[in-house]
Amino acid sequence: MKPVPFSDAPIRLRPFGSERLDEIKALYENAGWTAYLQNDDKLLRAFDSSLYTLGAFADGRLVGFARCVGDGEHIVYLQDLLVDIPWQRRGIGRRLMEQVLEHYHGVRMFLLCTDAGDDGANAFYRALGLTSPDSGYRFYVRP
């Protein structure tokens, strides 16, 4: 799918769900996150089981979103933060992150992962006041 063209439409943030599956899939595809596109039923279950999904809408169209998983009290993990390519560098990702961080301001542990070599993403998260735990925590992944 092609990215949604940019317009001067105001951006509105609001929760949403899997009813927007086609738009969700287009955003993943445009970002090159193809692992999400292998199975629609799995993707529906993933969204329906998410703790919080916050969308950025322009003229009623989904142009970005943040998706969180966790228990909302002790841990929240930012699973996805996506903004469609023509809409990037307009503060939408920052607005999504700020609202998510405010929504979960009292949670004990807020986590996300990004590629260590992605300088842009790492600078973005640091600019929001997030830090990388160089000590005190160790993360493990299944090979």
| pLDDT tens digits, 56-103 | 999 999 999 999 999 999 999 999 999 999 999 999 999 999 999 999
| Whole-number Cα distances in Å, 45 to 17, 50, 107, 112, 126 | 11, 8, 24, 21, 31
- Give the DSSP H/E element, type plus range, for residue 81: strand 75-83
pLDDT grade, residue 17 (50/70/90)? very high
Token pair of 131, please? 């830090």
Token pair of 22, please? 């086609």
Report residue 139 CA to chain centroid gap: 20
